């Protein structure tokens, strides 16, 4: 199981921020993104249409070939707009 | 260095007074307060989403970076998350320094970073419903300018 977290405008498009069991063919972050597009096209489209940061276990990850580990928390962040 | 996210309204003057109390070695206190603007077409309020734990960590990192760059010994950031009504304070950034120039620079640059680099997402509710706010070109330009300043 991994925990998926969708923030900002992605949150409303995602089914939920929850623990999910990934299919056996989803082993890397790139494969996870492809799986999200297949499972939730509207969310996948929104993620593809903007600059999306991926945070794994609260650290920024830029290498999408990184393998996903059991109990990882993987967050998808749209462009930020604080202040 | 103090960074706090809060779901409750806060009083910027009270926060500032507590931050600067007993700091008689400091010659300057500069602060900025961002308010939830009720403009036309009527904005009924804001919602700010955050990533618990990560947002605090990132805002602290940004504040530490700015403090080091401008030799500004102490910074305070209070930022609302959740639902905010027009007129309420969204953010307070304050700097204590021995001299005013560093404090002015630190507050301005930290605000520029908070606009574009802090893991916070603003959703505005108006007459036509809610919409997520994207970073404005003007904010990105200010941030780029801040990046180059005094490097």
pLDDT at B150: 45
pLDDT at B146: 74
The closest CB to that of B121, out of A55, A58, A78, belongs to: A78
3-state SS assignment for residue B151: coil
Q: For residue B144, name the pLDDT band (cuts at 50, 70, 90).
A: confident
Q: What are the residues whose beta carbons fall under 8 Å from the beta carbon of A4, sequence distance 6 or more?
A: A14, A17, A18, A19, A20, A74, A75, A76
Average pLDDT of the residues in B113-140 = 88
Helix%, strand%, coil% for chain B, nearest 5: 35, 30, 30
The closest CB to that of A82, out of B114, B123, B134, belongs to: B114
Are the C-beta atoms of residues A15 and A40 closer than 8 Å to each other? Answer: yes
Contact A79 B135 (CB under 8 A): yes
pLDDT in tens, B11-36: 999 999 999 999 999 999 999 999 99
Domain total for chain B? 1
Structural domain boundaries enclosing B55: 2-148
Alpha carbon B71 to chain centroid, angstroms: 19
The residues with which B80 forms a beta bridge, in sequence order, are B6
Contact A80 B116 (CB under 8 A): yes
Reported ipTM: the value is 0.91
Are the C-beta atoms of residues B136 and A79 closer than 8 Å to each other? Answer: no
pLDDT at A65: 96
Q: Which residues of B touch A80 (CB under 8 A)?
A: 116-121, 135
pLDDT at B50: 97
pLDDT in tens, B53-92: 999 999 999 999 999 999 988 999 999 999 999 999 999 9
Q: Determine the Cα–Cα distance for residues A63 and A30; give it in Å rounded to an integer.
A: 9
CATH value at residue B19: 3.90.1170.40
A47 and chain B in contact, CB less than 8 A:
no
The verdict on whether omega for the bond into residue B104 sits within 30 degrees of 0, i.e. cis, is no
- Going along chain A from its start, the domains and CATH numbers come out as 2-77 (3.10.20.30)
Residue with tokens 């941030």: B143
Stretches where chain A sits below pLDDT 50 are: none
Residue B40 has pLDDT above 90, yes or no: no
* Nearest Cα to Cα of residue B77 among B58, B57, B91: B91
Q: Determine the Cα–Cα distance for residues B103 and B96; give it in Å rounded to an integer.
A: 6
Q: Determine the Cα–Cα distance for residues B93 and B111; give it in Å rounded to an integer.
A: 7
Instruction: Kindly state the percentage of chain B with pLDDT values over 90.
Output: 74
């Amino acid at each position: 199981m991994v925990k998926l977290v969708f923030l900002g405008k992605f949150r409303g498009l995602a089914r939920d921020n929850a623990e999910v069991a990934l299919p056996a063919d989803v082993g890397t972050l790139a494969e996870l993104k492809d799986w999200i597009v297949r499972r939730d096209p509207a969310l996948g489209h929104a993620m593809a249409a903007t600059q999306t940061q991926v945070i794994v276990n609260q650290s920024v990850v830029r290498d999408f070939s990184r393998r996903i580990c059991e109990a990882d928390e993987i967050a998808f962040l749209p462009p930020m707009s604080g202040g | 260095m103090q960074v706090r996210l809060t779901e409750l309204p806060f009083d910027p003057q009270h926060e500032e007074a507590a931050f600067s109390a007993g700091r008689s070695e400091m010659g300057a206190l500069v602060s900025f307060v961002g308010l939830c603007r009720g403009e036309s077409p009527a904005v009924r309020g804001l919602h700010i989403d955050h990533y618990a734990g990560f947002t605090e960590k990132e805002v602290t990192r940004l504040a530490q970076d700015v403090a080091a760059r401008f030799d500004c010994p102490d910074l305070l950031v209070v930022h609302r998350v959740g639902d905010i009504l027009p007129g309420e304070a969204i953010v307070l950034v304050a700097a204590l320094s021995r001299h005013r120039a560093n404090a002015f620079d630190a507050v301005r640059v930290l605000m520029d970073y908070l606009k574009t680099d802090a893991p916070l997402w603003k959703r505005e509710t108006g007459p036509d419903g809610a919409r997520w706010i994207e970073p404005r070109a003007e904010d990105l330009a200010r941030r780029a300018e801040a990046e180059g300043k005094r490097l």
